[in-house]
Amino acid sequence: MTDADKEIFEATTNCHICGGELAVTKVRDHDHLTGKYRGAAHNQCNLDVQLPRHVPIVFLNLSGYDAHLFVSELGFGEGKINCIPNTDEKYISFSIEVDGALEMRFIDSYRFLPNSLETLAGNLTKEQFGAIKKCFGDRYELMIRKGVYPYNYMDGPAKLEETQLPPKEDFFANSMAHTSATRTMHMLSRCLRNLGVRLCGTTTIYTWKMM
């Protein structure tokens, strides 16, 4: 703090964050990135505006199966590991510290988001998909649609070498209406054609990236 900052702090009678009166105790609020003094504040207001130390990483159905891919590898790192288990096999959330300062926190979209990813994405306007537009250009509309993947059909490594999509009957395990299934297969074929993807194995990798 400069001498001028100290004088302003001593003379300030209202919290610069909430505007309320600083009746008894006031603290020096500073920018946690630059260290510069911002103003006098209530202690609680100062705590409320601190930058979070964690980066949320949202996975679809993390508790169901994706967690197994990561949990088995986390122990090989040096950072502290924390988790909220549901059972011995399923986790609501888990995290690992990076460089002792930042926490990478993995969470399940089913448990922490107010609705499905499809519904939440559908509530956004096209102008709000700036990051996806930057990555995929004119193909971004294909990326913001609900993806489909033949989970039941992919039952072994040999299927990853196939060079064409499986038949509609094998692709959909549920009783999806014929018209809906046809439309979905057409959309998927268009996605793969635009991305230059041919092998099922590559399709699997793209599916993971888009999730």
At a CB cut-off of 8 Å and minimum separation 6, what does 133 contact?
140
* Amino acid 183: pLDDT: 65
Burial (Cβ within 10 Å: 0-12, 13-18, ≥19) of residue 153: middle
Q: To the nearest whole number, what is the mean pLDDT of the chain?
A: 76
Question: Residue 39 pairs with which residues in a beta bridge?
Answer: 29
Report pLDDT for 41: 92
Is residue 165 classed exposed, middle or buried when 0-12, 13-18 and 19+ CB atoms within 10 A define those classes?
Answer: middle
- The string of pLDDT tens digits covering residues 86-110 is 777 777 888 888 877 788 888 888 7
The neighbouring-strand residues paired with 21 are 14
Helix, strand, coil shares, percent, the chain, to 5:
45, 20, 40
Please check whether residue 200 is in contact with residue 161, taking contact to mean a CB–CB distance below 8 angstroms: yes
- What is the tens place of the pLDDT at every residue in 150-203? 777 777 778 777 777 777 676 665 544 444 666 666 666 666 666 665 555 455
Binning pLDDT at 50, 70 and 90, where does residue 211 land? very low
pTM, two decimal places:
0.51
Q: Give the model's pLDDT for residue 209.
A: 46
